[in-house]
Amino acid sequence: METKNIKHKKLPLGFTFSFPCRQNKLEEGVLLSWTKHFKVRGVQEMDVVSCLRNALRKHKDMDAEVFALVNDTVGTMMTCGYDDQRCEVGVIIGTGTNACYMEEMRHIDLVEGDEGRMCINTEWGAFGDDGSLNDIRTEFDREIDLGSINPGKQLGLYLGELVRLILLKMAKEGLLFNGKLSTALRTKGKIETKHVAAMEKYKEGLNNTKEILMDLGLTPSEEDCIAVQHVCTIVSFRSANLCAAALAAILARLRENKKLTRLRTTVGIDGTLYKIHPQYAKRLHKVVRRLVSNCDVRFLLSESGSAKGAAMVTAVAYRLVSQRKQINEILASFILTKENLIDVKNKMREELEYGLKKETHPTATVKMLPTYVCGTPDGTEKGKFLALDLGGTNFRVLLVKIRSGRRKSVRMYNKIFAIPLEIMQGTGEELFDHIVQCIAEFLEYMGIKGARLPLGFTFSFPCRQASIDKGSLVGWTKGFKATDCEGEDVVDMLREAIKRRNEFDLDIVAVVNDTVGTMMTCGYEDPNCEIGLIAGTGSNVCYMEEMTNIEIVEGDEGKMCINTEWGGFGDNGCIDNIRTKYDKEVDEGSLNPRRQRYEKMTSGMYLGEIVRQILIDLTKQGLLFRGQISESLRTRGIFETKFLSQIESDRLALLQVRRILQQLGLDSTCDDSIIVKEVCGAVSRRAAQLCGAGLAAIVEKKRENGNLEHLKVTVGVDGTLYKLHPHFSRILRETVKDLAPQCDVTFMLSEDGSGKGAALITAVAKRLHSVAEN
């Protein structure tokens, strides 16, 4: 650092440490054993990075932070990987020998996680320590092993020493040098690998052999030189064969891992023996290709050793650490503390009260709309009913047959129709004519055009109701924008459209919200169900409230279902402290800016948009998609809820996440996929927690309404987010339990949606009506 005049800089440091280490992290490695003539005391079983850090601390004028500990084999693979991205194996054949390769995470039991790949340092030098190579080991191998620093370990590449021992035996037996020995020939380590390489050189080999032998104090004849050269060839050829066999095993494994009939790959390679020996590389390549004929292998010599690779690993680690910091800062704004959630619960509770009071109702953000649904099913309902279900881009028409008594049952027949965008955003007349056209098709299809059936209309938009069959639209949500509807009675608009068509007549008994429909559907199965929750495209809750608390409706007897329309919670700025800049961007770009703020943080329609805004920001900062904002990332609405659910699925490997992103036109790396998954997780987790906090306010209110120490209640739930997302329902339930510990809440999935609920409400209304008449 002094020479390069960089002492004053804080620099990331990568440490190539070419000895077997057990690594739990990239920047930590416990030395298992010394090899290659090293035998320093007190280091084995120690973390060598800590040792290096301690030594660095002694130099106060130096500031270097260790980010990565890398084996030289890994360094070689990374160095070559920089020039050839197919490189997934690193091999060293030099003083020692070793290999590393990219293994599938799912096969590495020692490390948690099964996504992506990780580089495995094989430490193959120890292959055979268990005796598995005994049948091919010679007396010379055994002699070398016994004379080494680590007997019984790392049986392999002491080529020069092997040649010396063979020549010594041949001389002793009178086969070489006329049986004469020299002191040098008897001395360990006098013949080195570089000598073996020189003796095998084409053309100059014999001359070199003569010189080397004379330097050893011997007087060789020409026959001696040829014989010695032959010994060198046999020893180095065996070495190349052994390395080729081990490498072939790795290549065969890679091919099987990828389930390919043919593998194309690159092996990064380094080491003095491989580099300086004239025939070694050629022999190794030839044998590898013969052993794995179904692999096309490119061998790439590492020009700058393993140091460049270690620097690469360090650079990547350094980039990831600073990236991680930036990503964590961005996602931190989506983390809600328990205090935040309690605050949301308390504020929601206040807004519920404002909505119920006559004086504050007109300005309340949570509308608290009376539905005039005053009872849940009791099992005596029966008859045939029609139900309509309008709540999103699909419209359903259903025929519902309800049987009462011991064999009570509900049978349904339905047909789904699409609502094109031009009709969602056209005129009110066009929308209701389209609805009636769909009803006509269904009645025709079922052969019941002549029957005047009672009808329940699930209309999943905020309505102010004056009775069960009157509802004026407060305002469109969920992308609907049909003109001349707001403030109008939707039942009247439907009746007018039926008249215009003049083909059939229907008895419209009830207009209901999908949330109420969900509560009724579940209430038919479980009399304890007094709350309905929708967590799907939109987000809403209804519940049975005591009539005494509903100041905006006459009468104090019994209960009435209140459609909270809680999506508008926060429109007065009461939750601005937890809204992020991404929420504000999504809000500003929506069809109804500054309205439905809570819904925009909790419902499926907007979560994907929030994710998209975050991804754009991360890409702008160069943390994703190589800094390239693709056309599809600029497209509003590409991230549907279903993609969020798929991306966050625990069963999906990163490769599948990448595939989903590619379908969306986003070309991602594995790192990108991890980040996208995290972003989706942060957004959906917050949505589930906010939903849970809101629901906790409702169950607490019901508990206090009944002056109960403990409340036992069932919540009927519907909606794609709750049903399909892998974690949403669990986080929602946990949040409710945490924030309303005195309430025992059961969640019941509405299997048949709100259409069945509309029919049940119609049936209950008919029942109550006939009771009132009698």
Q: Which of 224, 514, 718, 752 is catalytic?
A: 514
Cα–Cα distance measured from residue 658 to residue 648, given in angstroms and rounded to the nearest whole number: 12
For 148, other C-beta atoms within 10 Å of its C-beta total 17
Q: Which of 164, 255, 283, 396 is catalytic?
A: 396
Question: Please, are residues 610 and 639 in contact by the beta-carbon 8 Å criterion?
Answer: no
Pairing of strands 87-93, 263-270: parallel
Active site residue 298: no
> Of the candidates 122, 71, 79, which has an alpha carbon nearest to the alpha carbon of residue 243?
122
Triad 236, 241, 245: Cα angle to 5°: 150
Spell out a b/e string for 7-34, using b for 16 or more CB atoms within 10 Å of the CB, else e: eeeeebbbbbbbbbbebeebbbbbbebb
Active site residue 117: no
8-state DSSP, 16: E
Triad 762, 392, 660: Cα angle to 5°: 140
Q: Which of 18, 302, 306, 460 is catalytic?
A: 460
Q: How many CA atoms lie within 13 A of 324 on its CB side?
A: 6
Question: Please, are residues 684 and 332 in contact by the beta-carbon 8 Å criterion?
Answer: no
Active site residue 460: yes
> Of the candidates 174, 178, 163, which has an alpha carbon nearest to the alpha carbon of residue 218?
178
Q: Is the dihedral of CA 652, 654, 659, 660 positive or negative?
A: positive
The helix or strand, by DSSP H or E, that contains position 500, with its residue range, turns out to be helix 490-501
Dump the DSSP string for 378-430. -S---EEEEEEEESSSEEEEEEEEEE-STT-EEEEEEEEEE--HHHHTSBHHH
Q: How many CA atoms lie within 13 A of 510 on its CB side?
A: 30
Chain length of the chain? 774
Q: Which two tokens stand for residue 162?
A: 């092997």
Cα–Cα distance measured from residue 723 to residue 750, given in angstroms and rounded to the nearest whole number: 10
State the catalytic residues. Answer: 396, 460, 514
